[in-house]
Structure 1
Amino acid sequence: MFHTGTQTLIDHWAALPEAGRIPARADFEPMRMGRLVPQLFTADRTAEGAAFRLAGGWIETLHGRSMRGVSWLDLWAPESRPLVAAAVIQTFREARPVVMVAEAARLRGALEIVIAPMRRPDGTPDRLIGLYQSVVAQERRSEAVGPLTARLSIGVGVPSRAPLTLAALDGRRIA
């Protein structure tokens, strides 16, 4: 069971047109998320993972800096980066939200971080919408929490795309 904030973003994403085929970013209205807006972010998919486009004030306070253009993987401890990069790939490949559980040295409790895939206006699926949700109430921070450590990553819901399979034609692999 996820925190209600995490579940709210998952439900909102799932209700968007074409959620099973990756919805358009234009169909997602952040202000409908109400009190969760400071915990939202958008990112562009990159070869290494993702880079922030916009981040709510709570996220910027948590990391102690403006997030625009920051590589998402840079916020994670080196040993967590493969799991986080795999979660970004999974959300696009399976066209469904992925929830990660993260911890940080200067953070009470854990964070649930949900990411969900979105399409640009030209139809390219390379945007993320995400939410940081603390599982316990956090005091107002005066210093950044430091690198995040990923503990778990899980896809939410039924994958919407068929799993990849090996195909052969006349004994030659083609896909």
Structure 2
Amino acid sequence: MMQQATTKELYAYWDAIRNGRIAPRRFEIEPAKIAGLLRETFIAECTGLLGMRFRLAGTRLCHQFGRELRGDDFLGFWSHEDREAISSVVHNIINDGAVGYGSFVGLTESNREAAFEFVLLPLIHTGSSINRLLGAITAIDPPFWLGSEPLVAFEIGDLGLHWPDETPTFLAHNSAEAARRARQRFYVVEGGLSRDNQR
């Protein structure tokens, strides 16, 4: 599960304003209430089946990644295999109201590595469907050089899903066995954090 202060605090704030619903509405997010987290948070727009475009991105995120992230597609950062896994997470967030979380390694052209934790939380912007994501990306023990070299490649360490109300919404009236099968659609991907060549 989430280990870093930023991801845990953002989840707690989101869960409080959600107040038992599948997701809060975008306008319910009050930046002043999470002022200490804003530099590492973002809002992304779900664009079709294969898009998750940054609408807003915190200043620390942009600094650590070495570029302005607004307008970038989060799903475009990854290799084909990792992108499929993260797309599966996003699918569960949008359709089931799940929370996605995980870790990854960002690499520079000189092969320096920095580890990150992230969380993806569902939001409703228009209508009644989930169509935005509130998220945070926070460095784990950030190295001294982070921000001085752009990150040019990314490798997933692990991924997970959490249903705040324990059962996906669309299974609320079905059996526990059906809920178990739904969770099996998602799998953990071992990646960059378990590589032999850690730097």
Judge same fold: TM > 0.5, yes or no. Answer: yes
1:159 is displaced (CA, Å) by 3.7
Q: Equivalences for 1:82-101 in 2 at 5 Å?
A: 82-101=84-103
Aligned-residue Cα RMSD (Å) equals 2.2
| Residue identity opposite 1:111 in structure 2 | F
1:37 is displaced (CA, Å) by 0.8
Number of residues of Structure 1 aligned to a counterpart in Structure 2: 165
C-alpha distance in 1 between matches for 2:64 and 2:18: 32
Confirm or deny that 1:80 pairs with 2:82.
Answer: yes
Q: Equivalences for 1:43-62 in 2 at 5 Å?
A: 43-47=44-48, 48-62=50-64
Contact 1:13 1:19 in 2 (8 A): no
1:109 is displaced (CA, Å) by 4.6
Partner of 2:67: 65
Q: Deviations over 1:50-100 (max 9, x none)?
A: 111010111112222222221111222333111111111111222132102
Partner of 1:161: 169
Q: Deviations over 1:96-130 (max 9, x none)?
A: 32102111224655211101010014333200110
SS at match of 2:104: strand
SS at match of 1:162: helix
Contact 1:41 1:52 in 2 (8 A): yes
| Residue identity opposite 1:122 in structure 2 | G
Q: 1:70 and 1:19, CA in 2 relative to 1: closer, same or farther beyond 3 A?
A: farther
Q: Equivalences for 1:114-133 in 2 at 5 Å?
A: 114-133=119-138
Percent sequence identity over aligned pairs? 22
Structure 2 residues without counterparts, runs of 5 or longer: 175-199
Contact 1:108 1:136 in 2 (8 A): no
Contact 2:65 2:147 in 1 (8 A): no
Deviates more, 1:53-62 or 1:87-96: 87-96
Partner of 2:141: 136
Structure 1 residues without counterparts, runs of 5 or longer: 166-175
What TM-score do you get using the length of structure 2 for normalisation?
Answer: 0.74
